[in-house]
Amino acid sequence: MTKWLRKSLFVMISILTFGLVTPTQLMNSVNAENLQDRDAFETTAVENSVTQKNRFFEESEFNREEFMEELMKQAEIQSYQKFGTRIKPVIENEFREIILPNIEKALAETASHFPEEDLKNLTITEQPSAGVSEKIFNIKNGKTGKDILRFHVRRDNPPKSGYWFNFHYHTYHDDFQSHHDLGTIYWAKNTPPKWMS
């Protein structure tokens, strides 16, 4: 749809409905038709947090491997949500090849320090931060509410080198002071768009 047609449609709907249907609601329904199967799965999956899965594990026999797989799925979904529709297509393949395996190693390393009864209390945050903020997601203890790991992505712009995304995490072991590197991905010479845009 061209921009002028979209704007005209927004104005017309706003006038006709007197605010009962917002243009955002309309665009969400229009954009829903254009989603790829994978994007639709990711959007639905965000609604099913690891916390809900944890309740399932509490009611049935806990399986460490299944729990870690679910945690990784949620980590990937949260990351793509943070990237938004403008950054994701550009860095998705490198993120999958370079960064995700390192996130998995960090989660496995941390999980190895927890007995099963404590591990099933770990949850992932449901909302990455937008704009230029670094937060992708945190892993926290659901019982205490305290963060265990914080996964971030920082925009770096070394002189004459363009923009890079530096993925790293912080851990509660040193009160979140040290950066633990997960890898970097090159963006371009131009400034990247804001997160979640």
Domain-embedded: residue 156: yes
Domain-embedded: residue 197: no
Element (H, E) at 146: none
Domain-embedded: residue 70: yes
pLDDT for res 126: 77
Radius of gyration of the chain (CA): 20
**What whole-number distance in Å separates Cα of residue 140 and Cα of residue 183?**
23
pLDDT for res 101: 97
pLDDT for res 18: 52
Report the domain count for the chain.
Answer: 1
Region for residue 61 given its phi and psi (left: phi exceeds 0; alpha: psi -120 to 50; beta: otherwise): beta
Region for residue 39 given its phi and psi (left: phi exceeds 0; alpha: psi -120 to 50; beta: otherwise): alpha
Domain-embedded: residue 7: no
Domain span at 108: 35-188
**What whole-number distance in Å separates Cα of residue 147 and Cα of residue 85?**
28
* pLDDT tens digits for range 68-121: 999 999 999 999 999 999 999 999 999 999 999 999 999 999 999 888 888 888
**What whole-number distance in Å separates Cα of residue 91 and Cα of residue 97?**
10
**89 close to 36: Cβ distance less than 8 angstroms:** no
pLDDT for res 82: 95
Domain-embedded: residue 28: no
Per-residue pLDDT tens digits of the chain, which is 197 residues long: 555 555 555 555 655 555 444 444 444 444 444 444 444 334 434 444 444 444 444 455 778 899 999 999 999 999 999 999 999 999 999 999 999 999 999 999 999 988 888 888 899 987 889 999 999 999 999 889 999 999 999 999 999 999 999 999 999 989 999 999 999 999 999 999 999 99
Domain-embedded: residue 10: no
**49 close to 101: Cβ distance less than 8 angstroms:** no
What global pTM score does this model have? Answer: 0.69
**What whole-number distance in Å separates Cα of residue 87 and Cα of residue 190?**
13
Domain-embedded: residue 14: no
Distance from the first to the final alpha carbon of the chain: 19
For the chain, what's the residue count?
A: 197
pLDDT for res 74: 94
Domain-embedded: residue 148: yes
Residue 38 burial by CB count (10 A; 0-12/13-18/19+): exposed, middle or buried? Answer: exposed
